[in-house]
Structure 1
Amino acid sequence: MTSTGSSTRFRDCPRYWRTPLIPGAEMLTAEYYDHEFTPHWHDAYAIPVIEAGAETYRYRGSTHIAEAGSVPVINPGELHTGSRAVDAGWRYRVMYTPVDFLQKIADDLAGKPQPLPWFDPGVIRDRDLAYRLRHAHQLMEAGSDLLAAETAMIDALSTLLARYGSTRPETQRIAANDPRVAVMQAQLGADLAEPVQLSDLANAVGLSPFHAARLFAQATGMPPHAWRNQIRLQRALGPLRAGASVADVAAASGFTDQSHFTRHFRRMFGVPPGRWQAA
């Protein structure tokens, strides 16, 4: 933390890292002050624990405030934002846990296959759970005792599922599975470097451009062009993780240039792509 007169505030200081204990997961240890996350989603479950300060975020049509000791879980594919809720900013730890990994823990916990785990919108205020998640995160980051870290991680995620796991409401599944939206999403994601016009999407589903854009935004929470940029960013992670250059990934992802890619990447992940890759 840095001092500003008689007050203290956090810095914009994120660090992404990975652990062999959760294959495919991204882990984040961070503090933020100025940074504001624009509307975005993750393919994984975002499981944060706030250590100090407070974060405010928009999620499923409401504004939430997550203070120290709280756990503001975000479901995969769900649009949300993030910024400071208090003058100091906030410090937190996050497990971006792959869907199949958490699904396996849910199945093991129940002793039989379970529906996709889902968490109600809102901030979980459970000091015991927050302690378990923070402790597991710290042990995995230290990496000195993998047995203890894995035991703590399974305990923390099992506790989260047992206390707060549910299933996705049927109304949400119906809205998200509109076949016309699926057609437009497929067209937007088919070739990310290929230009697509709104009229192309509209013609594909037999709607006017106005009604196609409105349907898409109602189902996804984003206009088509913003949704496509999110897909570009999500698909860029694999090549970056494999060691491809930022410039090559930017071009293959359909961004106009590297600076355009970097700007969008930082707004979503809080760090430039090169720094994320270095983790």
Structure 2
Amino acid sequence: MDQHSALTRTPAAGGDFARLWRESRFDGMECLNARFQRHAYAPHTHETYVVGVITAGTELYRCRGTERAARAGQVVVLDPEVLHDGRPAEDGYAYRMFYPSVALFGQAMADALGRPALPHFAATELDDPELFQALRGLHHGLEGPQREPLSTDTDALRAFTALALRHGDLSARPREAGQEPAAVRRAREYLDANLDSPVELADLAAAAGLSRFHLLRVFRKAVGTTPHGYLTDRRVALAKRLLAGFLPLADVALACGFCDQAHFNRVFKGRVGVSPGQYRRGSNPVQDAQAAAA
């Protein structure tokens, strides 16, 4: 059963809230953002893994013959085909859930371990604040405005592999990051050549000659940031140079690979402290006036 079926089998009660969508770039993974004061799930299973975070309140549920409680601040995870139900405690609960397919988890594990493997999770509630923040941030990012594929893929791979490697029953471990100067150089060259285009993590890893997981580790070790962080810094540096000229702000955003003007403004201000327009006015007010009049 998918989560849409579970919700419609016992529809949310009045006053409750649920938003469900699918992520096509992650094998059609269902994502659910919900707040329940009264809604109770009938016993059901999923063909997928169940991964999420409790953001408020307490969810009560029965799983593997035991009554359990998942509380705010905890990560929750279930293997595929595990029978469970769900209902709110007196204070209700809110959660953000992912339903990643077995194939998606298998691909992430092959990437991280160099061979096929699937995690098994014996514990269903996890106290792991760092993982909680990573999963919640990923979920917010998927629900929010359009994001760059490199950022989304990086966040998803890091969050799901961290969950499996820390808490899954896996005998194999990733190899040490080590030094990969040639691969890092190839990755930087690829990023520098694609400042104006969307970058896929899989394409970047192929250019570097490493798996996606290993590339993220060696790149951060060598450069001090993720490939997406490096790409963003290079795009902002290019934007600052272009803002000294006469290109309209929308054209500067496009030339630097930002999704739209709002994305450009948000990222630029986050790195520089002022908006692109303010930067242009402060660095060259004469050219800003000429560009506005063009």
**TM-score bracket for the superposition, by shorter chain length:** 0.5 to 0.7
Q: For 1:253-272, list aligned pairs within 5 A.
A: none
- Mapped to 1, the partners of 2:28 and 2:37 lie a distance apart of 28
Residue 78 (structure 2) aligned to one of 62, 74, 97: 74
In 2, are the aligned partners of 1:59 and 1:121 still within 8 Å (CA)? Answer: no
Query: Which among 38, 41, 47 is matched to residue 37 of structure 1?
Result: 41
Which one scores higher on RCO, CA 8 angstroms, separation ≥ 6?
1
Q: Distance in 2 between matches of 1:109 and 1:66?
A: 29
Q: Is structure 2 residue 30 aligned with structure 1 residue 21?
A: no
SS of match in other structure, 1:21: helix
2 CA distance for matches of 1:43 and 1:139? 25
RMSD (Å) for aligned C-alpha atoms:
1.8
Instruction: Give the ranges of 4+ consecutive aligned residues of structure 1 lying more than 3 Å apart after TM superposition.
Output: none
Give the TM-score taking structure 1 as reference length: 0.54
Pairs aligned (count): 157
Task: State whether residues 60 and 121 of structure 1, in contact with CA within 8 Å, keep that contact through their aligned partners in structure 2.
Answer: no
Q: Structure 2: give runs of 5+ residues left out of the alignment.
A: 1-13, 171-294
Deviations 1:104-145 (A, max 9, x none): 11111111122x321013311111111100001111111421
| Equivalent position of 1:57 in the other structure | 61
User: Are the counterparts in 2 of residues 13 and 32 from structure 1 also a CA contact under 8 Å?
Assistant: yes
CA distance in 2, matches of 1:144, 1:41: 31
2:25 & 2:136 partners in 1: Cα distance? 16
The verdict on how the C-alpha distance between 1:71 and 1:11 changes in structure 2, with shifts beyond 3 A counting, is farther
SS of the equivalent of 2:78 reads coil
Q: 2:152 aligns with which of 142, 149, 152?
A: 149
Contact 1:139–1:148, Cα closer than 8 Å, also in 2 = no
What is the aligned counterpart of 2:102 among 95, 99, 102? 99
With over 3 angstroms needed to count, the CA separation of the structure-2 counterparts of 1:16 and 1:164, relative to structure 1, is: same
CA contact (8 A) 1:30 1:93 kept: yes
SS of the residue corresponding to residue 117 of structure 1 reads coil
**SS in structure 1 of the partner of residue 42 of structure 2:** strand
Q: Could you tell me how far apart the structure 2 residues matched to 1:24 and 1:98 are?
A: 8
Shift in alpha-carbon separation, 1:11–1:70, aligned structure 2, 3 A: farther
Is 1:18–1:26's contact at 8 Å kept on the other side of the alignment?
Answer: yes
C-alpha distance in structure 1 between counterparts of 2:145 and 2:156, whole Å: 12
8 Å contact from structure 1 (residues 109, 158) kept in 2: yes
Structure 2 CA distance for aligned equivalents of residues 21 and 135 of structure 1: 17
Is 1:130 the counterpart of 2:154? The answer is: no
1:143–1:153 distance in 2 versus 1, CA, 3 Å: farther
For 1:1-279, what aligned pairs fall within 5 Å after superposition?
11-85=15-89, 87-114=90-117, 116-146=118-148, 147-166=150-169
> Residue type matched to 2:103 in 1?
D
Residue-by-residue CA offset, 1:74-100 (whole Å, 9 max, x unaligned): 111110010112x22011100010111
The DSSP-based 3-state class of the residue aligned with 1:134 is helix
Does the C-alpha gap of structure 1 residues 128 and 143 become closer, same or farther in structure 2, counting only changes over 3 Å?
Answer: same
Q: TM-score, normalised by structure 2?
A: 0.51
Could you list the runs of 5+ residues in structure 1 that have no partner in the other structure?
1-9, 168-279
Query: Contact 1:43 / 1:98 at 8 angstroms: preserved in 2?
Result: yes
Give the secondary-structure state (helix, strand or coil) at the position aligned to 1:88. strand
Decide which structure has the larger Cα Rg and report it: 2
